[in-house]
Amino acid sequence: MNHFLDVADYSPSEIQDILDLAVRLKEEHFAGGNAPLFKGKVLGMVFQKPSLRTRVSFDMAMRHMGGDALYLSPNEIGFGKRESIADISRVLSGYVQAVMARVFEHEHILELKKWSSVPIINGLSNFSHPCQAMADAQTIIEKFGSMKGINVTYVGDGNNVAVSLMHIVVMLGGNFTIANPEGYDIPQAAQTTGAELAEKSGAKINFLRDPHKSVENAQVIYTDTWTSMGQEDSAAEREKVFPPYQVNSDLVAEADKDVIVMHCLPAHRNHELTDEVADGPHSVIFPQAHNRLHAQKAILARLFELA
């Protein structure tokens, strides 16, 4: 059984193949539409947290390719409360052809996978956000032609988005730098996986505290919210610690002159990213969001073994 839980579960060439397919499906989409390869297939979408991009891009990916999607809100299935995850997984497996789930605990995705007889997709957990990373890589490759040797700097919290970005960047031969305050590091297990992937590809990883040093020679600057979903209790503390890590025009001016600025969105404007940068000439935040659609199609097609 194929699943899509983390980019590091795949080899670099498998990830590159999915990215190549995403490019092909994007071309097809704009050249009159995709073939209805997903006819007769339904994707179950289990959400424990809110979503705009993940929900709509997966739903539209299914519809564009002749399939359908079913949204299951937190209130509906009482994930792990009304019913055990093991039971939910076995029941859903008999109704739909794949399940995409957005959860709090990463272990819950692993539990879904353990009991499922259909592919499980990680639509964001507290640990990682691999579907986002696929669209991110697609966006970077569209701009630079390849990930090889590209300097990608992430400024901010060492969160789920940072983990998946680090893994996909170094896996494909890009160099990854992160600048974050003490206490907000990328989890050790993800750092270890990153180091292993980097060793294989020859990429470099730098863990820094200084945002200014981190953007020297950066061709990509990436940031994300200082307070992820589920961390609301520590938001006030985070608002005190993170302001030096704001991506603003002064910071962008210290990077490569052709730098692109990325954010997975939703953005908290004038917190981690200023309006001026978000809406300025270096920003690719909307093409990046739109690439979610094409990346999801490619992930689904691979899991359904249809392309």
Q: Which residue is nearest to ligand NVA (CB)?
A: 228
d(CA 224, CA 55): 19
Catalytic residue among 264, 282, 294, 296: 264
E strand segments, 85-169:
98-102, 120-122, 151-155
Which residues have CB under 8 Å from 24's CB, separation 6+? none
Catalytic residue among 102, 167, 282, 302: 102
Ramachandran angles phi, psi of 294, nearest 5°: -75, -40
Answer yes or no: 224 catalytic.
Answer: yes
The DSSP secondary structure of 76-88, one letter per residue, reads HH-BTTTB-HHHH
Nearer to ligand NVA, 24 or 106 (CB): 106
Nearer to ligand NVA, 67 or 194 (CB): 194
Answer yes or no: 296 catalytic.
Answer: no
Answer yes or no: 292 catalytic.
Answer: yes
> If binding is defined by CB under 6 A, does position 53 make contact with ligand CP?
yes
Question: Minimum distance from CB of 224 to ligand CP (Å)?
Answer: 9
User: Facing residues of 177 across strands?
Assistant: 153, 206
Nearer to ligand NVA, 264 or 303 (CB): 264
Report the partner that residue 228 touches, choosing among ligand CP, ligand NVA, none (CB closer than 5 to 8 A by kind): ligand NVA
Ramachandran angles phi, psi of 280, nearest 5°: -95, 180
Q: How many CB atoms lie within 10 A of CB 207?
A: 16
Nearer to ligand CP, 3 or 53 (CB): 53
Please check whether residue 156 is in contact with residue 272, taking contact to mean a CB–CB distance below 8 angstroms. yes
Answer yes or no: 129 catalytic.
Answer: yes
d(CA 198, CA 192): 10
d(CA 4, CA 7): 7
Pairing verdict, β 120-122 and 260-263: unpaired
Question: What is the enclosing helix (H) or strand (E) of 45?
Answer: strand 42-47
Bond prior to 281 in cis (omega within 30° of 0): no
d(CA 126, CA 53): 17
Catalytic residue among 59, 136, 157, 224: 224
Question: Minimum distance from CB of 82 to ligand NVA (Å)?
Answer: 24
Question: Minimum distance from CB of 140 to ligand NVA (Å)?
Answer: 18
> If binding is defined by CB under 6 A, does position 60 make contact with ligand CP?
no
Task: Return the residue of 51, 97, 122, 139 that touches ligand CP, per CB under 6 A.
Answer: 51
Report the partner that residue 225 touches, choosing among ligand CP, ligand NVA, none (CB closer than 5 to 8 A by kind): ligand NVA
Answer yes or no: 29 catalytic.
Answer: no
Nearer to ligand NVA, 60 or 229 (CB): 229
The footprint of ligand NVA (CB under 6 A) covers 124, 159-161, 224-225, 228-229, 264
Report the partner that residue 224 touches, choosing among ligand CP, ligand NVA, none (CB closer than 5 to 8 A by kind): ligand NVA
The residues of the shown chain that bind ligand CP, judged by CB under 6 A, are 51-54, 124, 132, 264-266
